[in-house]
Structure 1
Amino acid sequence: MDSDEGYNYEFDEDEECSEDSGAEEDEEDEEEDEPDDNLDLGEVELVEPGLRVGGERDGLLGGETGGLGPGGGGGGGGLGGGPGPGGGPEQEEDYRYEVLTAEQILQHMVECIREVNEVIQNPATITRILLSHFNWDKEKLMERYFDGNLEKLFAECHVINPSKKSRTRQMNTRSSAQDMSCQICYLNYPNSYFTGLECGHKFCMQCWSEYLTTKIMEEGMGQTISCPAHGCDILVDDNTVMRLITDSKVKLKYQHLITNSFVECNRLLKWCPAPDCHHVVKVQYPDAKPVRCKCGRQFCFNCGENWHDPVKCKWLKKWIKKCDDDSETSNWIAANTKRSRAALQRYLFYCNRYMNHMQSLRFEHKLYAQVKQKMEEMQQHNMSWIEVQFLKKAVDVLCQCRATLMYTYVFAFYLKKNNQSIIFENNQADLENATEVLSGYLERDISQDSLQDIKQKVQDKYRYCESRRRVLLQHVHEGYEKDLWEYIED
């Protein structure tokens, strides 16, 4: 293809690419006459703070309190669907964000409910259901609430209008001494052992508890649990769940499901994608910018992938999907069509280089351990702790360069040939050569005779790598600003 004249992607026939690639009922009735501003979700007793109770996205209470700070290093911004601002990591300090624990998110959710309740004056648990129906968009809820058709609104949200609750309760009042038959287990109990929602359907507390536990723990349902009665779509409120569930783990899981829904619906919030992390990043405005969690994970706020400068989210998403699809069908394509074989060769050229840098990054912890040992050896040769810190700095730069190079091959795969793409290829090749030289320096054995020489070479080379990486990123972002890049729609 014309777009790849600057590359030589010949390969052996056997070359392949693969990717490895969360009180009594009567007393309660009296209390419900007034709006309840307190949500029981905040009163759950925590159990096993380190336990991951849901899927990967389930939040957990506990952890460090995040601080307001600039975006983490690692590249420039503006990698969303449209052109992004130029510059590298030095220009990202204006992107402010906050790292929060799930407990802080819960407090934020309760505050949001309280703000709405100051206007509409409903029980907090009903307001939470209304907000959830509108994806926590307060403005949309307010607009619908005051459009004059409250009955339609409450019906859409599957809740009973709080103003009609007292009349419903009077219609369903029975003597506490009278026995009733549960319509689930068909056992007879005193009326006091039964409870239900404002729809009037009552079941024994044991069946309620088992029903809610199954919905929460096995089906992962939180905000959409409906009344157990056949054909009834009235949703179970939070206070009812917390009153009828006795298992603290089930309560915690329910809290996580509600909190997770709040985060997923809020465009200013994003869970950290690290598997064992329970923090949430809160930004002032959503954008494809780098953010760093308290756990150390740096990711793109827009797409949630590892920070991927200089390629945009759109192209990275297509690339990941292509890698997943082509890894299973590449052999069949190569064997059956000559035209597809040429496309496969081109894909494997970029994929192999992408994967090479990815594999190198996966040995990052091993490399840091090796360098730490070398730093200790150098201190035994009369060098101070301060004097040997250049080695750690060199590894930091090496890893940054490999991450950048890895994503340049994704960017290049979709790039059409023009004069600017030639400049990009030259910058890419220069950075790649310098990165490999730096890697070679760090792998050498260190003796007392070569100590000062290797220190000077390593320092000179990592400074050069930093400079070339900055030049490459600045050029790509300049192309975004000036609309210089043309893409191959794969």
Structure 2
Amino acid sequence: MSDLSDEYLIDDDVEDTMDEDSTYGYDDAADSQDEEDEELGFGVADDAFAAPDPASERMKSFQIEYKSHSVASIEEAQQKEVDQIASMFVIKETDAAILLRHFGWNKERLIERYMESGEKVNLEAGVVEDSSHPKLRKLGDFTCEVCYTSSDDVPGGKMETLALGCGHRYCRDCYQQYLEQKITSEGESRRVQCMREKCNLVVDERTVGLVVAPNVFERYKILLNRTYVDDSNILRWCPAPNCELAVECHVSNKMLNKIVPSVACDCGHLFCFGCGNAAHAPAICPIAKLWVKKCADDSETANWISANTKECPKCTSTIEKNGGCNHMTCRKCKYEWCWICAGPWTEHGNSWYNCNRFDEKSGSEARDSQAKSRASLERYLHYFNRFANHEQSAKLDRDLYGRTEKKMEEMQLSTELTWIEVQFLKKAVDTLTECRMTLKWTYCMAYYLARDNMTELFEDNQRDLEKAVEDLSEQLEKPIEPKTIPELRQKVTDLTVYVQKRRGILLSDTAEGFQEDRWQWNVEF
């Protein structure tokens, strides 16, 4: 399979101009990365898939190597492994396939165990070949032990039967029902065993094909392919609906606390190879997992508390607003205050609705457990609200696609620009959506970062990207006027490049920080 695709796809949406930013000094230092890359699993060859090409184009520090595989190439990779084992041990291809599936396609472990005791391995895997028990035979004077149909009940006096190497023979109809039940209802494929109870012989692929209906056999082959990918450490099915491609990536699970393996399937779907969820760079998988769980547990409660309760400005008791009036009286200390601005009610008189002050809260320490809990909640809400805002903004930015097409049509009608020349708007929308998702996950990471100088630098990069994204978004929302089209095109193009550059700087610095152990966390994982 390695000869099908010699080059990996590279996330190359960051302009090369990023390398020119000497302020940050991002040097790939390719020669010094060889040992580190090997440790990370980039240079580990796989029997069915070639290791990454060291001569591939230079990548930024946050980029990883990956490529997509079709079902046909996956089947070819399996056949390559099967042929090698069958030739090495001089056994049938069907038996070699059963052995490989038993060992999860770990060929090295299979060879080692088979060389020690081939007979024991065959017994464990469910492989027994006995030529004295041919599989399909028409027999007279035979009664099936399952359905009790005898050969006398069928035309010609001979019944079609099936037996594996173990010799446990049943009628073909019973075997067909049994196999189709296992495949269609139970989703079983690699460990479909003999019908006899406690017999662990595995029905090979060729026998299944002789017995079951064609559509069931196709389902069986799909399940076999799925087990191959599921057993592999370097393959993962694309999670996009109706996509039948798998992505290959040489990043091991043990490195997921230092690398964010964001990949893009050939179908266009972006996801994390490590956890299979939507891409969440720059947050590593353990941090993203903690955040998703916390949001699922706390977001509904946090939103309700934020919207419906406040603390008394005097005694900090938590108060729920149960009416429309904004004149609040604390039951604990009897302090009267305004729900809108938390100021004294005596200053409002009959003009409560004119209050427009924002009172910055003091930095004094929480005085009791309730206040501490409130402070913790407010900290969570700070990051959650920004996380959710960018997620919502990304959805709204996607709605720009429809309006962008209309804009491009307008530009073609009102100017001499061709369709190709107006694609800068679509590129800008794509970039905007991608950067929104990156910004979303920066707030997840920032929530769990311990406060130090490195965190300040991270937030500086976050701020710069956020400002650039908002500037680009503002430009895309502007109406099109024929006289301003050249200026709009120049501004949008320049901002798109700049936004890509800022995203690259943030992701590169974060990735290098993981490798240098710069990031300290306020939580254990």
TM-score by length of 1: 0.75
Give 1:315's match in structure 2, choosing from 287, 301, 324. Answer: 287
What is the CA–CA distance in structure 2 between the aligned matches of 1:83 and 1:123, rounded to whole Å? 37
Cα offset for 1:230?
Answer: 2.3
Question: Which segment drifts farther, 393-402 or 119-128?
Answer: 393-402
- Counterpart residue number, 2:143: 181
Q: Which digits, 9 at most, give the CA deviation of each residue in 1:194-243, with x for residues without a partner?
A: 21112221111111111111110011011111222223222222122111
Which residue identity lines up with residue 155 of structure 1 in the other structure?
Answer: L
What is the CA–CA distance in structure 1 between the aligned matches of 2:514 and 2:159, rounded to whole Å? 69
Distance change >3 Å, CA 210–CA 344, structure 1 → 2: farther
Is 1:108 the equivalent of 2:88? no
What is the CA–CA distance in structure 1 between the aligned matches of 2:63 and 2:198, rounded to whole Å? 53
Give 1:254's match in structure 2, choosing from 208, 214, 220. Answer: 220
Cα offset for 1:484?
Answer: 1.5
Contact 2:139 2:161 in 1 (8 A): no
Q: Which digits, 9 at most, give the CA deviation of each residue in 1:60-101, with x for residues without a partner?
A: xxxxx97733323468999x9x9999xxx9527995443221
Taking the TM superposition and a 5 Å limit, the aligned residue runs for 1:460-471 are 460-471=494-505
Cα offset for 1:253?
Answer: 0.8
3-state SS of the aligned residue for 1:194?
strand
Is 1:150 the equivalent of 2:122? no
3-state SS of the aligned residue for 1:193?
strand
Contact 1:70 1:92 in 2 (8 A): no
Taking the TM superposition and a 5 Å limit, the aligned residue runs for 1:223-242 are 223-242=190-209
TM-score by length of 2: 0.71
Give 2:131's match in structure 1, choosing from 166, 170, 188. Answer: 166
Distance change >3 Å, CA 423–CA 373, structure 1 → 2: same
Taking the TM superposition and a 5 Å limit, the aligned residue runs for 1:57-456 are 68-73=7-12, 90-91=59-60, 95-147=64-116, 149-160=117-128, 162=129, 165-166=130-131, 169=133, 178-189=140-151, 192-245=159-212, 247-283=213-249, 286=252, 288-327=260-299, 338=370, 339-385=372-418, 387-456=421-490
Distance change >3 Å, CA 125–CA 92, structure 1 → 2: farther
Contact 1:71 1:289 in 2 (8 A): no
Distance change >3 Å, CA 426–CA 284, structure 1 → 2: closer
Taking the TM superposition and a 5 Å limit, the aligned residue runs for 1:33-72 are 68-72=7-11
Is 1:478 the equivalent of 2:515? no
Cα offset for 1:355?
Answer: 2.0
Cα offset for 1:323?
Answer: 2.6
Cα offset for 1:150?
Answer: 2.9
What is the CA–CA distance in structure 2 between the aligned matches of 1:93 and 1:409, rounded to whole Å? 18
> Bigger relative contact order, structure 1 or 2, given CA contacts below 8 A and separation 6+?
1
Q: Which digits, 9 at most, give the CA deviation of each residue in 1:35-66, with x for residues without a partner?
A: xxxxxxxxxxxxxxxxxxxxxxxxxxxxxx97
Which residue identity lines up with residue 117 of structure 1 in the other structure?
Answer: A
- Counterpart residue number, 1:57: none
Cα offset for 1:130?
Answer: 1.0
What is the CA–CA distance in structure 2 between the aligned matches of 1:415 and 1:213, rounded to whole Å? 53
3-state SS of the aligned residue for 1:179?
coil
Distance change >3 Å, CA 66–CA 353, structure 1 → 2: farther
Cα offset for 1:125?
Answer: 1.4
3-state SS of the aligned residue for 1:310?
coil
Cα offset for 1:291?
Answer: 2.9
3-state SS of the aligned residue for 2:68?
strand
Question: Which segment drifts farther, 184-193 or 89-98?
Answer: 89-98
3-state SS of the aligned residue for 2:142?
strand
What is the CA–CA distance in structure 2 between the aligned matches of 1:106 and 1:457, rounded to whole Å? 49
Give the number of the structure whose alpha-carbon radius of gyration is greater. 2
What is the CA–CA distance in structure 2 between the aligned matches of 1:407 and 1:435, rounded to whole Å? 15
Question: Which segment drifts farther, 330-339 or 426-435?
Answer: 330-339
Contact 1:67 1:98 in 2 (8 A): no
Contact 1:97 1:284 in 2 (8 A): yes
Contact 1:102 1:278 in 2 (8 A): yes
Which residue identity lines up with residue 463 of structure 1 in the other structure?
Answer: V
Distance change >3 Å, CA 209–CA 83, structure 1 → 2: closer
Q: Identical aligned pairs, as a percentage?
A: 37
Distance change >3 Å, CA 111–CA 323, structure 1 → 2: same
3-state SS of the aligned residue for 1:199?
coil
Distance change >3 Å, CA 314–CA 84, structure 1 → 2: farther
Contact 1:289 1:300 in 2 (8 A): yes
Cα offset for 1:273?
Answer: 1.6
What is the CA–CA distance in structure 1 between the aligned matches of 2:476 and 2:241, rounded to whole Å? 31
- CA root-mean-square deviation: 3.3
Gaps of 5+ in 2: 15-25, 43-57, 152-156, 253-258, 310-317, 319-368
- Counterpart residue number, 1:34: none
Contact 2:98 2:190 in 1 (8 A): yes
What is the CA–CA distance in structure 2 between the aligned matches of 1:216 and 1:83, rounded to whole Å? 38
3-state SS of the aligned residue for 1:180?
coil
What is the CA–CA distance in structure 1 between the aligned matches of 2:511 and 2:220, rounded to whole Å? 44
What is the CA–CA distance in structure 1 between the aligned matches of 2:13 and 2:381, rounded to whole Å? 26
Question: Which segment drifts farther, 433-442 or 330-339?
Answer: 330-339
Distance change >3 Å, CA 387–CA 327, structure 1 → 2: same
- Counterpart residue number, 1:15: none
Distance change >3 Å, CA 122–CA 340, structure 1 → 2: farther
